[in-house]
Amino acid sequence: MMTENTIPPQERLTFQFTRDSVLRDYRIAFQSREASLIGRREVLTGKAKFGIFGDGKEVVQVALARAFRKGDFRSGYYRDQTLMFALGLLRIDEYFAQLYADADVEREPSSGGRQMNSHFASRLLDSDGEWRSQVDSFNSCADQSPTGAQMPRLVGLAYASRLYRELDELEHLVGFSNNGNEIAWGTIGDASCAEGIFWESVNAAGALKAPMLLSIWDDGYGISVPSEYHLTRGHLSSILRGFQRSPGEGEGYDLYTVAGWDYPALCETYLNASEIVRREHVPAIVHVADLTQPQGHSTSGSHERYKSVERLEWEKEHDCLVRMRQWMIGEKIASEEELEHIEKEDRELVQELQRRAWDNFRRPLDDEKKTVVSLLGRVAAASSARQEIEPIIDRLDRWPNAQRRESIVAVHETLIQVRGESDPAISDLVAWQQDSQAENYRRYSSYLFSESEASALRVPVRPAVYGPDSGMVNGYEIINRCFDEALARHPNLMAFGEDVGQLGDVNQGFMGLQEKYGDLRVADTGIREATILGQAIGMALRGLRPLAEIQYLDYVLYCLQIMSDDLATLRWRTMGGQKAPVVIRTRGHRLEGVWHSGSLISGILNLIRGIHVCVPRDMTRAAGMYNTLLQGDDPGLVIEVLNGYRLKERLPDNIGEMTLPLGASEFLRKGVDATVVTYGACCRIALEAADLLSEVGIDTEVIDVQTLQPFDLQGQIGNSIRKTNRVVFVDEDVPGGTTGYMMKKVLEDQGAFAWLDAQPRTLSGKPHRPAYGSDGDYFSKPNREDIFNAVYALMRETDPQRFPSLEG
């Protein structure tokens, strides 16, 4: 029932059915349905927290799986369990392990229990954090819950195939591509197509001619809201038509519409569509209509509340399994009796696998509870608080299906009861508590950053080297030389962004490099920050090293959601199973104007834990950070100083090799009276203030933190405060923003509070955005005079005689 496509009938490939292959598909689909039914029951009986399932979308997914080839990638969402089963990327017991939040990554390989059920991923990395071959396997990137968030990286996953096909210098990367023949398969629900990033991604993949095959699972609703509220005219195919290419035209999309219950039509559609996408590198969209949701959206509610009786009846009739079954019987592929027999077998199999997953999940928890009960028993026996402890033990012992939390709570309550007592049993309990804390840290908090040999924190430090001929050049020339050498050294490095290609970026950092390296390696993009970022994530997932430019820091907000939800969480949410070492380049700080002043640091910093954040004060520092990040395997954001491109710096002889260690603060000025901690463009202002302060006899130490994440790993700021006993944190962010972050790091984490003789101060911009013009900037952001006054006031606190009031 292909209703719309660009393949003339005589050219269509016909799907070859065999009885075995059809039966195999039906069984996968049927087992998947059973898994959904049992899954819902498990939630409703309290054994799992929440369930969202792929029922109603089984048949289309077994059909899609037939066209999926080794090396291909999936970027989809929580309805894709059947596809994952069909590709062999997920076992049924693993599916249930995730439903139970089993925190053992061997049993729950998608996320090690960190992600809600039906958030799938394949393990792209081995246990050392190195890439496994992707060409010998089916691949899936890690799902996210925000609707449409799978789209931006899909663009990059697909576009990578084009790069692999067209760039000879990538030929050596055999583990990632076979001549760019791979397709990136996307899936999305119909209602999620109302998201802005959906349209941005569709447009970007079309403009990039990326081999992407996107399926839209259309079941007519987004939770309770029907299609007409989501989409103009309520019908996707008709609004997508503008993207469609005409027959023979190279650019644009192939569009297909097919019913989600029509197995032979689905198989034929995917066979044909994928063939063209793979061969011609033309993207395609398959709008899969008439899908259903037999159990409703999720376990959070029942669809009887918002679907009419007629709709519910229609869904029963059009249930894809019912229809496939009827077709199989009609085509004499299997008889009713045969199918009943198979279904009974499969139902039992799924039940058995669910029970196994539950038992495996429970065993370590029950063992742990037993251990704790026994440890607590020993403590009770030895303690004067026995009467108080016994009810704690009893409660834990009787707790049905206790998890780790219940044991930890009981241990904590017991330790409160026995405070001040000492006994070997208590020591054993404390030792258990500490081991458990470490183990649970590993379970839930490991892999925020790379733990591999390739971590950016392990990159050897190579200081800048200057010779007698090292001349002074403009800042932009330093960056330009750095990128030139990086592109030569890393054949898989691709730089792209708005105005990056032909113009060489708005500040000439890439000037001349497109001519030298070609328009795929140094590329212009549309104005589409979310998909510039997504493009980078997808490319990085396929072994490339993207350097994605966001033209100004202020526009990072457009891609912040993807940076935060996808890139920053990727390694963590897969428990080390995936990585995307993207380098994001942007520029900010102190250019005048509300949207060019680039001071939104804390908003960004606090949302992208999992990404290194570098705030170089000049271009030499920036170059060192790029070189470090490009040798590491974590993502990083580098915020260059906007007004630094035309300032002169000395060009290091080893600009291509020099590296700057992340997390190393630099002393810009030594002093004994007060410490000023800052970064980026404020460094210069702080130094000017320090000069002014020295005129009144105050010797200020100025520290550039250089990177905000990681932050001052050697505790140099704490050491400085130990000497000066006074500190002011300065930046252009909002009050309590990054200055608050730095203060927490130094006073709390480094314990510098103990060394202070005066109240610690923060000095930041105003709470509003910076006003335009020189005066607007001066009065919106901290300036030399503000820093002078802040430090002077601290000095006056201890010695008012020597530092009299400035106010007469």
Ligand X SMILES: Cc1ncc(C[n+]2csc(CCOP(=O)(O)OP(=O)(O)O)c2C)c(N)n1
Binding site residues, ligand X, CB under 6 A: 79, 145-147, 189-192, 217, 219, 221-223, 297
Q: Which of 644, 581, 583 is nearest to 614 (CA)?
A: 583
**Closer CB to ligand X, 79 or 278, in the complex:** 79
111 neighbors 142 (Cβ within 8 angstroms): yes
Smallest gap from Cβ 65 to ligand X, in A, equals 18
Q: What share of the chain is helix, strand, coil (3-state, %, to 5)?
A: 45, 10, 40
Q: Tell the burial category of 467 from Cβ atoms under 10 Å away from its Cβ (0-12, 13-18, 19+).
A: exposed
Catalytic residue among 230, 281, 297, 596: 596
Q: Which of 254, 159, 168 is nearest to 211 (CA)?
A: 159
Whole-angstrom distance, CA of residue 147 vs CA of residue 77: 8
**Closer CB to ligand X, 197 or 708, in the complex:** 197
443-449: long-range pairs with CB below 8 Å, 24+: 443/103, 443/112, 443/113, 444/103, 444/114, 446/572, 446/575, 446/576, 447/571, 447/572, 447/574, 447/575, 447/576, 448/571, 448/572, 448/609, 448/610, 449/571, 449/610, 449/612, 449/634
Q: Which of 577, 605, 81, 597 is nearest to 295 (CA)?
A: 81
- CA–chain centroid gap for 530, Å, is 13
**Closer CB to ligand X, 176 or 221, in the complex:** 221
**Closer CB to ligand X, 190 or 343, in the complex:** 190
Smallest gap from Cβ 219 to ligand X, in A, equals 5
Smallest gap from Cβ 297 to ligand X, in A, equals 6
**Closer CB to ligand X, 150 or 407, in the complex:** 150
Between strands 284-289 and 212-217, the pairing is parallel
Smallest gap from Cβ 586 to ligand X, in A, equals 24
The torsion region of residue 598 among left (phi > 0), alpha (psi -120 to 50) and beta comes to left
DSSP readout, 298-363? -TTS-GGGTS-HHHHHHHHHT-HHHHHHHHHHHTTSS-HHHHHHHHHHHHHHHHHHHHHHHHHHHH
**Closer CB to ligand X, 215 or 578, in the complex:** 215
94 neighbors 354 (Cβ within 8 angstroms): no
**Closer CB to ligand X, 42 or 219, in the complex:** 219
Smallest gap from Cβ 102 to ligand X, in A, equals 23
Smallest gap from Cβ 561 to ligand X, in A, equals 8
Q: Where are the alpha helices (DSSP H) in 120-230?
A: 150-166, 196-208, 227-230
Whole-angstrom distance, CA of residue 340 vs CA of residue 348: 12
Whole-angstrom distance, CA of residue 83 vs CA of residue 104: 23
Q: Which residues contact 323 (CB under 8 A, 6 or more apart)?
A: 59, 261, 262, 263
Q: How many helices (H) and strands (E) does the chain have?
A: 27, 22
Q: Where are the alpha helices (DSSP H) in 446-523?
A: 475-489, 513-517
412 is catalytic: no
**Closer CB to ligand X, 192 or 597, in the complex:** 192
436 neighbors 610 (Cβ within 8 angstroms): no
**Closer CB to ligand X, 55 or 618, in the complex:** 55
Q: Where are the alpha helices (DSSP H) in 45-126?
A: 58-67, 81-86, 92-99
Q: Mind telling me the catalytic residues?
A: 596
